Chains A and B, each alone.
Chain A
Amino acid sequence: MPLLPAILLQNSSRLVSLSSVDIAIIVLYFAAVLGIGFYLKRFTKTGEDFFLAGREMTAWIAGLSFLAANLGSLEMMGWAGAAYQYGILATHWYWIGAIPAMLFLGLVMMPFYYISKTHSVPGYLKLRFGESSGTLAAVCFGLMTVLMSGINMYSMALVMNVVLGWDISFSIWASSITVAVYVFLGGLLSAIFNEVLQFVLIWFGALLISIIGLIEAGGWTGMVARIKHNFPGQDYTHLWSTLGSFDNNPMGIHWVGIVFGLAWVISFGYWTTDFLVVQRVLAAKDIRAAKMAPIIGAGFKMLVPFIVILPGLLALAVLPEHLVGQDQVGVSGSHSYNEVLPLMLARYCGPGLLGLGITALIAGFMSGMAGNVSAFATVWTYDIYRPFIRKVAPDAHYVSVGRWCTLLGVLVSIGTAYFVMQFHSIMDYVQALFSFFVAPLFGTVVLGMLWPRATPAGGFWGLLSGTASAIGLWAWVKITPSALQYVALSPKAKDMAENMYRALWSWIVCVIVTVVVSYLTRPKPVGELTGLVYGFTKLPSESDVPIYQRPIFWAAVVAVVFVVLNIIFW
């Protein structure tokens, strides 16, 4: 027996067992992504090629890659588990918690990112507010990106251990070396190519669960009836009607938190300023493609609940056992919420289809990790290495630095994964740390783009104080749990609600400090705002383009579908 299958099959303690066809499908996937990396190396010669994929991606490629970088396997499994735990409320993170922000990015913010010719979001801040704001954003982003990548890596390896019985170290090293090789070789070009491939595989690997699940449950109506029968007295299938009170829904959240915390601050912060996703759109071939890419991504994002949330709901209807929280797994002997997607995969998928489903999970993990690593390499090279370590060097030198940064990022991620293995609680802290930064960053970027009066000092102090206030609020609740009633406006609020409100407060602090400091300090000369700020930037006219090819038209189509979906599932 060849070595690799022998390793894959070595552990008998597992949720599902793979046949030789399944293993062949997985091995072929690894061969394909590596092959693409080797093939694309010849096209990756300049810094523009390596860090921005030559800026020649079509709207479709950039849009699918934009979404795939976010659609990691942990995202899939985590939200499928959340759907089992909280019901259809989890869909808010895909609809109101994503679509408005993605459309705003495409229509309003993308032109400034694109026209300024920045390589990164910290790079934009540097152009708009100066070195200090850009560096603060770059250091925070770089650090958090590799830490998050390591945590995701460990979590994924843990899932592979539980589901397939794979050795944790084997999962960590095999997947991360593969990602390191193809990003090292082809940079963002290779990452984007593989993300589109991974996006297609994720859909074909996961879609069948929903289709067969609906057949088994008797369609949507049958599924709802079964859930009511299995979990009497709880409403798992309405999006908004249970959000009038913290007590009425399984998430313990109020609509104010969803609308202002999630939909406004967290969602806009993530989708419009997290360089991990924005980098994909910066690679678009022209400004219209850059505007269309997030809109195409939004169209597909609306469909993702069909392969992520619906399996969780179907599990509520058809699984004979009741799943439990991770902390109760050892006590009750049941499976955890987080295993719902693999459980449903094992329920419906025989040989071949199971391999495709597992490949979808691995592909999701790799697309997320490649996104982290390529974004880290760009921010490190352009926003830290070039301004502070070597200001002037040939383009080839920076490409070389980017390549080695890719390996460095992967190695730090692996180190983080092993660190988390020893200290599990660090996982919660780092994820919280990441969320601290996103909401204030959105405040700083959006004021920078839309308010000419915002000054460099205002931008820097707003960002710093917003981040500090988020950390302060988090620490306050950790030290004094009763502070939750002030931070989240209710002592009954759960973790998710606390996150929403903390983000909202930190954003408000960032905006207030930015405005106050800006009025107290001298603004930048008008000439320095050209290409960076609304009102001082000439945006290309689209009047010569047919209406059906304009971004605003497709954004309106997506917005109408978004509203209709929310009404249908109200």
Chain B
Amino acid sequence: MHRSGMVSIWFFIGVLLLVYGVLILGAGLYGLSHPPAVVLAELHAGVWWGVLLILLGTFYSVRFAPLRGR
């Protein structure tokens, strides 16, 4: 989509992934001291997945930020 003035869908996706990443990382860090009752909890999947979402979310939020093209 290149319509004038329209914010890219990738920006919305980036922001949502970023917020989700923060929430999931926070829950994952809490899980370090209070492990959830799941199989392979010792992998701390929430921490790694949260970091991944934050990195991707930050990239897309910045790369497709509405003000960048102006």
Separation of A353 and B30 alpha carbons in the complex (Å)? 13
A512 at the interface (CB under 8 A from B): no
Shortest B8–chain A CB gap in Å is 10
Shortest A563–chain B CB gap in Å is 32
Asked if A216 and B36 make an inter-chain contact with CB atoms under 8 angstroms apart, the answer reads: no
B9 at the interface (CB under 8 A from A): yes
Given known contacts A28-B16, A39-B7, is B1 in contact with A57 (CB within 8 Å)? yes
Asked if B39 and A347 make an inter-chain contact with CB atoms under 8 angstroms apart, the answer reads: yes
Given known contacts A212-B43, A348-B45, is B12 in contact with A32 (CB within 8 Å)? yes
Asked if A212 and B40 make an inter-chain contact with CB atoms under 8 angstroms apart, the answer reads: yes
> Nearest residue in A to B35 (C-beta to C-beta)?
A350
Separation of A212 and B48 alpha carbons in the complex (Å)? 12
* Chain A 346-368 residues near chain B, CB threshold 8 A: 346-353, 355-356
The A/B interface has a contact count, at CB < 8 Å, of: 95
Separation of A24 and B36 alpha carbons in the complex (Å)? 18
A245 at the interface (CB under 8 A from B): no
Asked if A204 and B38 make an inter-chain contact with CB atoms under 8 angstroms apart, the answer reads: no
> Nearest residue in A to B31 (C-beta to C-beta)?
A350
Asked if A21 and B1 make an inter-chain contact with CB atoms under 8 angstroms apart, the answer reads: no
Asked if A352 and B23 make an inter-chain contact with CB atoms under 8 angstroms apart, the answer reads: yes
* Chain A 197-246 residues near chain B, CB threshold 8 A: 197, 200-201, 204, 208, 212, 215-216
> Nearest residue in B to A318 (C-beta to C-beta)?
B39
* Chain A 1-48 residues near chain B, CB threshold 8 A: 19, 21, 24-25, 28-29, 32, 36, 39-40, 43
* Chain A interface size range: 35 or more
A56 at the interface (CB under 8 A from B): yes
Asked if A351 and B46 make an inter-chain contact with CB atoms under 8 angstroms apart, the answer reads: yes
The 8 A CB mask of A471-490 against B (1 = contact, 0 = none) is 00000000000000000000
B65 at the interface (CB under 8 A from A): no
Asked if B27 and A352 make an inter-chain contact with CB atoms under 8 angstroms apart, the answer reads: yes
Given known contacts A204-B53, A348-B45, A353-B24, is B19 in contact with A56 (CB within 8 Å)? no
Given known contacts A197-B13, A208-B49, A216-B39, is B27 in contact with A350 (CB within 8 Å)? yes
Given known contacts A43-B3, A200-B17, A352-B46, is B53 in contact with A215 (CB within 8 Å)? no
Tell me which of B3, B41, B53 contacts A350 (CB under 8 A).
Answer: B41
Tell me which of A24, A197, A353 contacts B12 (CB under 8 A).
Answer: A197
> DSSP majority for the A interface?
helix
Shortest A35–chain B CB gap in Å is 8
B20 at the interface (CB under 8 A from A): yes
Asked if B16 and A350 make an inter-chain contact with CB atoms under 8 angstroms apart, the answer reads: no
Q: Which residues of A contact B23 (CB under 8 A)?
A: 21, 24-25, 352, 355
Given known contacts A21-B27, A25-B23, A212-B45, is B12 in contact with A193 (CB within 8 Å)? yes
* Chain A 43-82 residues near chain B, CB threshold 8 A: 43, 54, 56-58, 61
Asked if B38 and A350 make an inter-chain contact with CB atoms under 8 angstroms apart, the answer reads: yes
Separation of A57 and B41 alpha carbons in the complex (Å)? 42
A196 at the interface (CB under 8 A from B): yes
Separation of A25 and B45 alpha carbons in the complex (Å)? 17
> Nearest residue in B to A347 (C-beta to C-beta)?
B39
Asked if B43 and A193 make an inter-chain contact with CB atoms under 8 angstroms apart, the answer reads: no
Separation of A54 and B1 alpha carbons in the complex (Å)? 10
Q: Which residues of A contact B26 (CB under 8 A)?
A: 21, 352
Q: Which residues of A contact B40 (CB under 8 A)?
A: 212, 215-216, 348
Q: Which residues of B contact A348 (CB under 8 A)?
A: 38-40, 45
Asked if B43 and A215 make an inter-chain contact with CB atoms under 8 angstroms apart, the answer reads: yes
Asked if B13 and A200 make an inter-chain contact with CB atoms under 8 angstroms apart, the answer reads: yes
Q: Which residues of B contact A57 (CB under 8 A)?
A: 1
Q: Which residues of B contact A54 (CB under 8 A)?
A: 3
Asked if A56 and B53 make an inter-chain contact with CB atoms under 8 angstroms apart, the answer reads: no
> Nearest residue in A to B56 (C-beta to C-beta)?
A204
* Chain B 21-70 residues near chain A, CB threshold 8 A: 23-28, 30-31, 35-41, 43, 45-46, 49-50, 53
Separation of A353 and B36 alpha carbons in the complex (Å)? 11
Separation of A351 and B3 alpha carbons in the complex (Å)? 39
Separation of A247 and B20 alpha carbons in the complex (Å)? 48
Q: Which residues of B contact A216 (CB under 8 A)?
A: 39-40
Given known contacts A212-B40, A212-B43, A216-B40, is B3 in contact with A56 (CB within 8 Å)? yes
Given known contacts A197-B9, A208-B45, A208-B49, is B20 in contact with A350 (CB within 8 Å)? no
Q: Which residues of A contact B53 (CB under 8 A)?
A: 204
Separation of A355 and B20 alpha carbons in the complex (Å)? 10
Shortest A187–chain B CB gap in Å is 14
Separation of A353 and B12 alpha carbons in the complex (Å)? 20
Separation of A57 and B3 alpha carbons in the complex (Å)? 10
Q: Which residues of B contact A200 (CB under 8 A)?
A: 13, 17
Shortest B19–chain A CB gap in Å is 6
Q: Which residues of A contact B13 (CB under 8 A)?
A: 196-197, 200
| CB<8 Å pairs between A and B, sample of 17 | A21-B24, A21-B26, A24-B23, A40-B6, A56-B2, A57-B1, A196-B9, A200-B13, A204-B49, A208-B45, A215-B43, A350-B37, A351-B31, A352-B23, A353-B27, A353-B45, A356-B49
A-B contact sample (11 more), CB < 8 A, given A25-B23, A201-B16, A349-B38: A21-B23, A24-B23, A32-B12, A196-B9, A204-B49, A208-B49, A350-B41, A350-B45, A351-B36, A352-B46, A353-B46
